[in-house]
Structure 1
């Protein structure tokens, strides 16, 4: 994830949008029970944390898939491993 995006995600004052989601009552009760044990003020912040964790995981995986596909394509077009590694090193430094 890009540093700028990460900084925005860490801002607790980001705008929020209300949503409605149907969930089984027993799941809500479990969330309410677990939230304070994990240090959350309520079940909704816990749900947001779970969603955020899953979303970050998926975004990282998709980004890795995209980078892997790009590297494979560059290799098929004759770009050497040395040049690819140099380019990746430049990206990581920024």
Structure 2
């Protein structure tokens, strides 16, 4: 994830949207019980954290798959490992 994207994600004043989602009662009770033990002010904060955590993991996996596919394609097209590594290093600095 790029630094700028990460900074935006950490901004506490990001715009929020209200949604309605149906979740089993026992799951909500578990969230309410676990939230204070993990230092969250309430179960909704914990639910948002769980959603964000799963989303970040999926985004990283999916973006990683795209990068891996691109690298494989470049190698098939004859681009040297040195050039690929140089490009990856350059992108990592951004």
TM-score tier, shorter chain, comes to over 0.9
TM-score for both structures, normalised by structure 1: 0.98
Pairing 1:84–2:84 present: yes
Question: Stretches of 4+ moved more than 3 A in 1?
Answer: none
SS in 1 for 2:35: helix
Question: Could you say which residue in structure 2 is the equivalent of 1:73?
Answer: 73
Question: Could you say which residue in structure 1 is the equivalent of 2:36?
Answer: 36
Q: State the aligned residue count.
A: 94
Question: Could you say which residue in structure 2 is the equivalent of 1:23?
Answer: 23
TM-score for both structures, normalised by structure 2: 0.98
Q: CA RMSD in A?
A: 0.6
Cα deviation for residue 69 of structure 1 reads 0.4
Cα deviation for residue 28 of structure 1 reads 0.4
Pairing 1:59–2:63 present: no
